[in-house]
Amino acid sequence: MFERSNVVGIWIGTLGAAALVAGSVAFPAAVPSAQAATTVSVTSSSQLKTALAGAKAGQVISLADGTYSGKWVATAAGTSSAPITLVGSRKAILTTGSIDSGYALNVKGSYWNLKGFSVTKSAKGIVLDNSDYSVIDGVDVGNIGQEAVHMRTSSTNVTIRNSLIHDTGVKTAAYGEGIYVGSANSNWSSVMGSSSKPDQSNNVLIEKNTITNTTAEGIDIKEGTTGGRIIGNIFKNSGYSGANSADSWVDVKGNGYVVTGNSGSGTRLDAFQVHSVLSGWGGSNTFSGNSATNVPGYEVNIASKTSGNVVTCKSSTAGMGLTNVACK
């Protein structure tokens, strides 16, 4: 999707791999897990409010099965050796109660681990604002009015993995991304405080998620972001509405992204697209080892004129073939 007329959500993760260089961007080493963590058990919405307000580095907030209704905000910060963990089973459900209203979970501190629980029936699912080194692992985010997960306000080194992202845009199709990284340059002023200051939500790892039935892109990567990795995800019917140019699984408008080992079926046009909506962006991205079925357009459509994009040669069953540029 090209533009956003309003400011939207975000999200979280800690990189668990050794340093990796994508183009000129180096990924940091793995972050140690918390030691001697204190567990706070939560069984009600009032207890969750208290636990989030009083969260401290190293704590584990454990959600019992049940529904937690509210617009949940986490402002505390963990550390590299003592992250804060919010964990529950898929039967522990965060919701605002309405697809018209609010963020189900807005994380504004760094070093959070979000594990296992579900998010549903809210305007936006999980939004990360200025939340570095956070991890979203094994969550279920679906039946969301707009986008499911958003990394925003220069949230760096976030990981989202092993999660089910589904049924987004049920209120507003044009804003129904599955995973959204950064902010459109038209929103930098409201998000970052200056129209010339990019939302540098860099080095995001999006790995081994299943992303299905998203009205907008399954993954939307905005200009101003650099050096992420999109690895081993499965897409089903992502980017199907055509609203606000949503017609692909993944739309990359940032620089230096590695897109590899992804697969899936069903979309409005292409599996992967690269655009330049701002001079100097939409370049040096690499695509390899992906596969696409029931895709009417290209597997990889390089619409950007910014240099450095590379598509590794291979066979493809996409309707128009592997790519519209020379592969290498």
Alpha helices in 208-264 (DSSP H): none
Provide the percentage of residues in the chain whose pLDDT is more than 90.
89
Choose among 49, 120, 32, 123: nearest CA to 86.
49
Give the Cα separation of 321 and 228 in Å (integer): 25
Bridge pairing between strands 60-63 and 84-88? parallel
Q: In angstroms, rounded to a whole number, what is the distance separating the alpha carbons of residues 200 and 177? A: 19
Given the structure tokens 């991304």, which residue do they identify? 177
**21-311, what's its fold?**
Pectate Lyase C-like (2.160.20)
For residue 131, count CB atoms less than 10 angstroms from its CB and return exposed for 0-12, middle for 13-18, buried for 19 or more: buried
pLDDT tens, residue by residue, 287-297: 999 999 999 99
For the stretch 30-47, pLDDT in tens is 444 444 579 999 999 999
* Residues 301 and 323 sit within 8 Å (Cβ to Cβ): yes
Label residues 58-80 b or e (16+ Cβ within 10 Å = b): bbbbbbeeeebbbbbbbebbbeb
**CA dihedral (19, 16, 283, 150) positive or negative:** negative
Distances (CA, A) of 253 to 4, 62, 157, 269: 14, 37, 18, 17
Region of residue 49 (left: phi > 0; alpha: psi -120 to 50; beta: else): alpha
- The DSSP 8-state label assigned to residue 226 in this structure reads B
Residue of 131, 133, 132, 136 lying closest to 119 (CA atoms): 136
Both tokens of 258, joined, read: 């590695």
Residues 6+ apart with CB under 8 A from 56: 38, 76, 84
* Under-50 pLDDT residues of the chain: 3-35
- Give the per-residue pLDDT at 295: 98
Radius of gyration for the alpha carbons in the chain, expressed in angstroms and rounded = 18
What are the beta bridge partners of residue 180?
Answer: 150, 220
Spatial separation of the C-alpha atoms in residues 249 and 229, rounded to whole Å: 15
Predicted TM-score (pTM) of this structure: 0.89
Return all residues near 64 (Cβ < 8 A) that are at least 6 apart. Answer: 41, 42, 43, 88, 92
pLDDT of residue 37: 76
Largest CA distance in the chain: 58
Q: Which long-range contacts (CB under 8 A, 24 or more apart) does 53-60 make?
A: 55/84, 56/84, 57/82, 57/83, 57/84, 57/111, 58/34, 58/82, 58/83, 58/84, 59/84, 59/85, 60/34, 60/84, 60/85, 60/87
Pinpoint the alpha helices (H) of the chain. 45-53, 188-192
- In sequence order, the β-bridge partners of residue 75 are none
